[in-house]
Amino acid sequence: MRVLMVVPRPLYSKAGGMTRVAENYLENTFLSEAGVDCSFFPTRTTDKLILSLLSQLYRFLLFCPKLVTGGFDMVHIHVAPGGSTWRKMAYAAVARMMRVPVILHLHGSGYDAYFRTQHRFSQSLIRAFYRSSRAVIVLADNWKEFAVGELGVPRQRVHVIDNGVPDSVRKTDRDSVSVRYLFVGSVIHRKGIDILIEAAAALDAEHDWQVLICGAGEIEKYELLARSVGIDDVKLRFLGWKNASEVSELLSTSHVFVLPSRAENQPLSIIEAMASSLPVVATDVGAVASQVDHNATGFVVPADDASALATAMKRLLVDKELRERMGAAGRKKFEDRYEISKNVSRLVDLYRSIV
């Protein structure tokens, strides 16, 4: 069985969640053991504005001969809100013209909000895009209801397959006196960095703690914000972008994972934190509430609420036993639900049902 997986960027670049999902699929041996030969096709090779437009056109022109010569049984397209949706419509249309079945994999934060802001005609095109596919993969039950209720996809064609990550946890080293809170993601407004800084400013000064912010983005802007509320660069450090190995090291030496986003789908970073036995404090957006069991594997707080975020962070700051209990519960949930082999197995079952 040959599958062409359409992803936003080349694998192992400084890419976002969709491409990282594909990387995790590639690294898992279950695909090849199940007889699936998966090729990966990035739709662009750069994010620089003019070059990006040229690379998108060039990649699309390469897609047609790739389908003609590749002998693929299906095309698996990863989709996010905005330009991703419209670009992927063209890819899906080409595949359908060549009678190659299409699977759409819905990612991206706030797809429901994005869809509702579109003009009625645009909404009709988006619905047709999803309804014309052989299957739609979503990341949680709430997204399934959205696909059925608003996108009009027949229920039997919508499949919930969680994101997953490999179980590649390092030996942990959490004996430091200072409690480390770790954020991993883009340093942008949507990720709630300002809320995290405001919450950090409310943490008890008499306790030893540190907030580590790992990711690329508007770092200088938020460094200024941190200084303006009285937090120095010892208490709150911006680490910049780190590769997967470096992130794994940070997870193994941190105590609490924090994700105060304003919009998400099903963040891989939360799954990686659970795999590392970290309690998670995250906001109630997207599918986060299905990932984090409130009061069991961590705390789910409202978005844009620095006070609620600070309260949850404080509870974990002063209670080591609570941190360890929640971390262990999160690890158990990872093993039961999010370890990559389980999700790849469900993906292979879907492939086989279509072929």
Same domain? For 219 and 103 the reply is no
Which residue range forms the structural domain that includes residue 51? Answer: 2-165+339-354
- Record the tokens describing residue 163, joined without a space: 């994101």
Q: Give pLDDT tens digits for 41-59.
A: 999 887 677 777 888 899 9
Same domain? For 277 and 201 the reply is yes
Q: Give pLDDT tens digits for 100-144.
A: 999 999 987 889 999 999 999 999 999 999 999 999 999 989 999
174 lies in some domain = no
Same domain? For 145 and 189 the reply is no
How would residue 15 be classed by pLDDT, with cut points 50, 70 and 90? low
Same domain? For 154 and 268 the reply is no
Overall domain count for the chain: 2
Same domain? For 349 and 269 the reply is no
Average pLDDT of the chain is: 92
Q: Give pLDDT tens digits for 340-350.
A: 888 899 999 99
Instruction: Write b or e for each residue in 176-215: b if 16 or more Cβ atoms lie within 10 A of its Cβ, otherwise e.
Output: eeebbbbbbbebbeebbbbbbbbbbbebeeeeebbbbbbb
Same domain? For 132 and 236 the reply is no
In sequence order, the β-bridge partners of residue 74 are 3
Same domain? For 223 and 288 the reply is yes
Q: Give pLDDT tens digits for 160-203.
A: 999 988 887 666 767 776 899 999 999 999 999 999 999 999 99
Chain centroid to Cα 157, Å, comes to 23
Contacting residues for 308 by C-beta, under 8 A, at least 6 apart: 301, 302
- Record the tokens describing residue 14, joined without a space: 């400084």
284 lies in some domain = yes
Same domain? For 143 and 207 the reply is no
107 lies in some domain = yes
Same domain? For 324 and 344 the reply is no
Same domain? For 230 and 272 the reply is yes
171 lies in some domain = no
Same domain? For 277 and 130 the reply is no
Which CATH number goes with the domain that contains 160?
A: 3.40.50.2000
Distances (CA, A) of 342 to 118, 132, 166, 247: 36, 28, 10, 23
Same domain? For 61 and 145 the reply is yes
105 lies in some domain = yes
Specify whether the CB–CB gap between 142 and 288 falls below 8 A: no
37 lies in some domain = yes
255 lies in some domain = yes
